[in-house]
Structure 1
């Protein structure tokens, strides 16, 4: 009687294919593709924003006899590099600059051939330098001489007025990283309303400490942005809470993918459009349009204008940051409560055992 032939074992190829199918799931493929998309988006956004800075409607006040004619000439320049308006005298032109209504001013001498360009490089040296070059070209055509007067330069320890941008960037990054880590340690979607409430409380405390730490670094420690310690502290707390609460909301709604959405909005899109290395007037239209609506841009403007321009033109950025912060907290709590009710309505078994942790 013949014995049964032994069943052949799996081949090395079949074992490898089985391990490959087990290791590379549809979920992991989607995550890798998402990371690739974010990476390419990062490159596209930063290079797209910075590769060819072109002036667009840089605001300038004109003080001159027959100022309207000169302003019309500036507004007619090809490509709309300048947006000129008339100021009745030099005092008004200076106020417009310091109130952030215009970026610069041209004061035409009623007698002689030497004019002055007034600017505030603390508001962004790149815009000031570009305005100087454009005005110099105009003056060359008019056969006049132009001198530049910087009426509000940055602090000696604030190179190219970039400390405001990097401070805002650090606060935003800290806010969304703190929220992301809290989500990873306790589950991206909190199982209960109380846990969401606790997470918001932790984020609020972290925001206050983070704002304090940033203010210490840029004021007494480094002297980059001196003289506004308490204002910077609470601006920083607001910035961090805005980034953190928004990230928590995205996590509650989307799970781990919420972190990706945060990076897309705040890092990929928000940072290059924030007005740091190149203010809005030098950015392409897309980045120029979106910059003021994200926390990095609003924070940079609020910090810079608080430190250098007596808090002028900070109302809108601060309101926007407040909307992100308060809206993130309230909507996170609301989304958690709604999700809890839905789970309660669909639950068929006994209530959750708290010992089992988060769902």
Structure 2
């Protein structure tokens, strides 16, 4: 091999540095959300006498500033309804029988946090009871008041820690990316790619639900609704990739995969509530397919009373946008607007 056949040293060094930079970006994308995760303004319901509510909210905010944003509700039933509709993660019910309501299906991390609040509340109410008894000259200490902790929407017995539900999201995202890339490379014809995405999403969703619900018991609820939600999630990830390929050629592969894996997936809040992410990234993540799919799958499994119209709309919009890009690429190529043969083949 002659010297002229070898890769120039400058290009070798540039390639190595570029690849190292890519590794750094990947590490940053996947480590940043978990390392910087810190709860802020978690919506929690509270009900009870006004004085008790004011005292508890003040004590909690003093102990954990900015962590919990309390929302007053009428009673325990209203608090349970708010949890079931995913308006809050839990509730504090005050009165003669104080109780803390949690929702393991919404977030095990928040449930643990509320368990700590229950301990603080129990200490406070017993201290107040003892002070009141002493002031009244009672001959003996009042009976101990227990603060019950009730999980009103628990996780499935097969997934008591919620790790299976969180883990189910990564195959969905990765499957959507792999499907979009593979279809773009293996199928010629933009309209055929749209058909391939539809078939792949439907069959892939059936496979995921068969494994995660019928076999492992991680997913709950109506299995066919879960199939529909996961199928739309797969299509919302795969279709934009094939659509970008129809518009841009092979460059669309890289752009679509990078956006879904390195941008949208880390801020999807699939493993912990979006309030744990630095704002506004938690809310922004819900506008991308991974975040919307994670929310929808959780709603369908455990919160049928919740309004899931937003994640359905987000996923549907991404899937339709991807199909529309494929159609635009098809007609542009068919009209002869793209003279480059490689781009024409990629978009055909």
The answer to whether the Cα contact below 8 Å between 2:100 and 2:147 also exists between their aligned partners in 1 is: yes
Match of 2:3 among 3, 16, 25: 16
The C-alpha deviation readout for 1:305-335, integer Å capped at 9, x for no partner, is 1111115131101110001111110122113
One of 38, 45, 48 as aligned partner of 1:64: 48
Change (3 A) 1:270 1:164: farther
Q: Distance in 1 between matches of 2:279 and 2:294?
A: 19
Q: Which residue of 1 aligns with 2:58?
A: 73
Number of the residue aligned with 1:7: none
Task: Please give the alpha-carbon distance, in whole angstroms, between the structure 2 residues aligned to 1:258 and 1:71.
Answer: 54
Deviation at 1:174, TM superposition (A): 1.5
Alpha carbons of structure 1 residues 96 and 175: separation in structure 2 relative to 1, 3 Å: same
CA distance in 2, matches of 1:160, 1:39: 31
Size of the aligned set, in residue pairs, is 325
Quick check: 1:127 aligned with 2:110? yes
- Which residue number in structure 1 is paired with residue 159 of structure 2? 158
Structure 1 stretches lacking a partner, 5+ long: 1-11
SS in 2 for 1:148: strand
**Structure 1 residue 93: Cα displacement:** 0.6
Take 2:335 and 2:258, find their aligned partners in 1: how far apart are those partners? 30
CA RMSD of aligned residues (A): 3.0
Aligned to 1:215: 209
Deviations 1:31-82 (A, max 9, x none): x766544432221122211114321111111111006624752685464101
Which of 231, 237, 261 aligns to 2:231? It is 237
| Distance in 2 (alpha carbons) for counterparts of 1:273 and 1:63 | 32
Q: Is the 8 A contact 1:127 1:282 kept in 2?
A: no
Which residue of the partner structure matches residue 41 of structure 1?
A: 25
Does residue 115 of the first structure (1) align with residue 109 of the second (2)? no
- Paired residues of 2:53 and 2:94 also in contact (CA < 8 A): no
Match of 1:93 in 2: 79
- Name which of structure 1's ranges 208-217 and 276-285 shifts more when overlaid on structure 2: 276-285
CA 1:89/1:269 → structure 2, altered by over 3 Å: closer, same or farther?
same
Q: How far apart are residue 140 of structure 1 and its match?
A: 4.3
Q: Which has the larger radius of gyration?
A: 1
Inter-partner Cα distance in structure 2 for 1:74 and 1:330: 54
Q: CA deviation at 1:141?
A: 5.4
Distance 2:38 2:249 in 1: 40
2:70 is matched with which residue? 84
Cα distance, 1:237 vs. partner? 1.3
The separation in 2 between residues aligned to 1:165 and 1:336, in whole angstroms, is 37
Secondary structure, in 3 states, of the residue corresponding to 1:272? coil
How far 1:164 sits from its partner (Å)? 3.3
Equivalent residue, structure 2, for 1:170: 171
Are 2:346 and 1:337 aligned? no
- Report how far residue 104 of structure 1 moved: 0.6
Matched residue of 1:105: which SS? Answer: strand
- Tell me how far 1:208 sits from its aligned partner: 0.9
Could you tell me how far apart the structure 1 residues matched to 2:346 and 2:86 are?
50
Runs (4 or more) in structure 1 with deviation over 6 Å come to 23-26, 356-359
> More deviation in 163-172 or 153-162?
163-172
Secondary structure of the residue aligned to 2:46 is strand
User: Aligned pair in 2 of structure 1 residues 44, 122: CA closer, same or farther (>3 Å)?
Assistant: same
- Taking structure 2 as the reference length, the TM-score comes to 0.82
